[in-house]
C-alpha cells in the first residue's frame, strides 16, 4: 500500500514537472524563457495550472454522447497510471528491516502486461473523439486509433529482439541480463549489444504511440483545432493531458529498462550512496529520454498523414522484422 501511494505521488509529480520541463526546454529552443512568473524558474507553474484546471468551469457541450464523453478521459488516465505499477525502478532495498523490491508488483510476464495495459489506453482517445460528436474530434479520434494500432506492431516487434537476448518477459530479468561491461568500459546495455536498430524503431513507434511531434496527427493544431480533446475543458482536459505525459514517462521507463540497462551504472561511495545510486541512474536515464522527446518536439515539423502511415508500414515494420530475424539468427548460431 505504501509503495502504491509513493509510486502514485511520484508519478503525478513527475507528470506535472515533465510539463514544466517541456515548456521550459521548448522555450529555450525557441529563444524564449518559458514559464518564469510563478516561483523560482517558474517551478510552481504546474501547481498553479493544477489549481486553475480544478476551478475552471467543467463545460459539457449539449451535442455530446454523455456517458462516453465523461468516461473517455477517465479511461485514458486510468490505463496510463496503471501501467507504471509494473515498472521496477531499482533492485531490492531494505528499509527499516523490510526487504522489498522497488516496484509495486513483479509478474513474470511484466512486459506483456505493460504492453496490454498501454494498448487499452487508445480507447480513451478514440471514444473521446467519437463521443464529442464534432468533426475535428472525430477526425482526431480516427487518426489516433489507426496510428496507434499501426505503430503498435512495430513497437512490439522491436521489443522481441530484446526478449530473445534476455530469454524472459520479466522486466527484472531483462535488466539483470544487461549488467556488466564490454572491455571494462562500454556497458552491456542492449542498445550497445546489437539492438541499436531496435532502439531506433522503438523510439519512432513510441513517439507515434504517445501522439507526440512529429507524429501528433491526432491533435494537429493547424488542421484539427485540438483533435480528439477539442470539446473538453477543465479537469477532463487536464486528465487527457496527464494521461499523455504519464504515457510518455511509461515509454521512457520501458526504453530505460529494455535498452539502456535499467538501473545499472557505476556504483561507488559508502553503502547508503550505493543503495540510492541505482535509482538515481534509472531516473537520470528517464530524464535523458524525456529530454530527447522534448528536443525532437522543438526541432522537427509534423508529418503528413499518408507519410505517417507509409513510414510505419513500409519502413519501420520491415526493418523491425529484419532486426528480429537477424537477432534470432545470431542468438541461435552463438548458442
Partner 1 sequence: MLHLLVFSVFGLVCVAGAVNLLVQRHPINSALSLVVVMGSLAVEYLLLGAEFVAAVQVIVYAGAIMVLFVFVIMLLNAGVEDRSKGSRVAMLFGVPGVLIGSVLVAWVLVARSGTGNVAVGALPGPPKVIGWLLFHDFLLPFEVTSVLVLIAIMGAVVLANHPGSAQQRSTQPDKREG
- Contacts with partner 1 by CB under 8 A lie at 68, 107-109, 112-113, 115-117, 119-120, 122-123, 126-127, 129-130, 138, 141-142, 145-146, 148-149, 152, 156, 169
**With contact defined as beta carbons under 8 Å apart, do 288 and 199 qualify?**
no
**Whole-angstrom distance, CA of residue 93 vs CA of residue 73:** 36
What is the β-pairing status of strands 98-101 and 92-95? Answer: antiparallel
**Whole-angstrom distance, CA of residue 279 vs CA of residue 89:** 6
CB of 248 to partner 1, least distance (A): 19
Which is nearer to partner 1, 120 or 321 (by Cβ)?
Answer: 120
**Whole-angstrom distance, CA of residue 208 vs CA of residue 312:** 9
CB of 65 to partner 1, least distance (A): 8
Which is nearer to partner 1, 16 or 78 (by Cβ)?
Answer: 78
CB of 209 to partner 1, least distance (A): 12
- Name 161's Cβ contacts closer than 8 Å, sequence gap at least 6: 194, 195, 198, 323, 324, 327, 328
CA 233 vs CA 20, 69, 111, 129, 130: distances in Å? 20, 12, 34, 14, 16
Which is nearer to partner 1, 10 or 164 (by Cβ)?
Answer: 164
**Whole-angstrom distance, CA of residue 194 vs CA of residue 196:** 6
Could you tell me how many residues make up the chain? 335
**Whole-angstrom distance, CA of residue 13 vs CA of residue 8:** 8
Which is nearer to partner 1, 46 or 110 (by Cβ)?
Answer: 110
CB of 2 to partner 1, least distance (A): 22
CB of 255 to partner 1, least distance (A): 19
CB of 54 to partner 1, least distance (A): 29
CB of 115 to partner 1, least distance (A): 6
Which is nearer to partner 1, 29 or 225 (by Cβ)?
Answer: 225
**Whole-angstrom distance, CA of residue 106 vs CA of residue 89:** 11
Cell 518477459 identifies what position? Answer: 169
Which is nearer to partner 1, 217 or 277 (by Cβ)?
Answer: 217
Which is nearer to partner 1, 280 or 315 (by Cβ)?
Answer: 315
**Whole-angstrom distance, CA of residue 299 vs CA of residue 312:** 20
Amino acid at each position: 500500500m505504501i509503495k502504491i501511494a509513493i509510486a502514485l505521488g511520484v508519478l503525478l509529480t513527475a507528470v506535472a514537472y515533465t510539463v514544466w520541463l517541456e515548456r521550459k526546454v521548448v522555450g529555450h529552443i525557441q529563444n524564449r524563457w518559458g514559464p518564469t512568473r510563478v516561483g523560482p524558474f517558474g517551478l510552481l507553474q504546474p501547481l498553479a495550472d493544477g489549481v486553475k484546471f480544478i476551478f475552471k468551469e467543467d463545460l459539457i457541450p449539449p451535442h455530446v454522447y454523455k456517458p462516453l464523453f465523461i468516461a473517455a478521459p477517465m479511461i485514458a488516465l486510468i490505463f496510463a497510471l496503471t501501467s507504471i505499477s509494473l515498472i521496477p525502478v531499482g533492485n531490492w532495498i531494505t528499509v527499516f528491516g523490510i526487504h522489498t523490491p522497488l516496484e509495486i508488483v513483479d509478474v513474470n510476464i511484466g512486459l506483456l502486461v505493460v504492453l496490454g495495459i498501454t494498448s487499452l489506453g487508445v480507447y480513451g482517445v478514440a471514444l473521446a473523439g467519437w463521443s464529442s460528436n464534432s468533426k475535428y474530434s472525430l477526425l482526431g479520434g480516427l487518426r489516433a486509433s489507426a496510428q496507434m494500432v499501426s505503430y503498435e506492431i512495430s513497437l512490439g516487434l522491436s521489443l522481441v529482439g530484446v526478449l530473445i537476448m534476455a530469454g524472459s518477459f520479466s522486466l527484472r530479468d531483462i535488466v539483470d541480463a544487461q549488467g556488466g561491461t564490454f572491455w571494462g568500459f562500454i556497458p552491456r546495455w542492449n542498445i550497445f549489444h546489437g539492438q541499436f536498430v531496435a532502439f531506433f524503431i522503438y523510439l519512432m513507434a513510441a513517439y507515434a504511440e504517445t501522439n507526440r511531434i512529429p507524429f501528433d496527427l491526432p491533435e494537429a493544431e493547424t488542421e484539427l483545432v485540438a483533435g480528439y480533446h477539442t470539446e473538453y475543458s477543465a479537469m477532463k482536459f487536464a486528465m487527457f493531458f496527464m494521461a499523455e505525459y504519464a504515457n510518455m514517462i511509461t515509454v521512457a521507463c520501458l526504453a530505460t529498462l529494455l535498452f539502456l540497462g535499467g538501473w545499472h551504472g557505476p556504483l561507488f561511495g559508502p553503502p547508503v550512496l550505493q543503495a540510492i545510486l541505482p535509482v538515481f541512474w534509472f531516473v537520470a536515464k528517464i530524464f535523458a529520454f524525456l529530454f530527447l522527446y522534448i528536443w525532437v518536439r522543438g526541432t522537427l515539423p509534423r508529418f503528413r498523414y499518408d507519410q505517417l502511415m507509409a513510414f510505419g508500414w513500409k519502413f519501420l515494420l520491415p526493418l523491425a522484422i529484419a532486426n528480429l530475424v537477424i537477432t534470432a539468427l545470431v542468438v541461435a548460431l552463438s548458442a
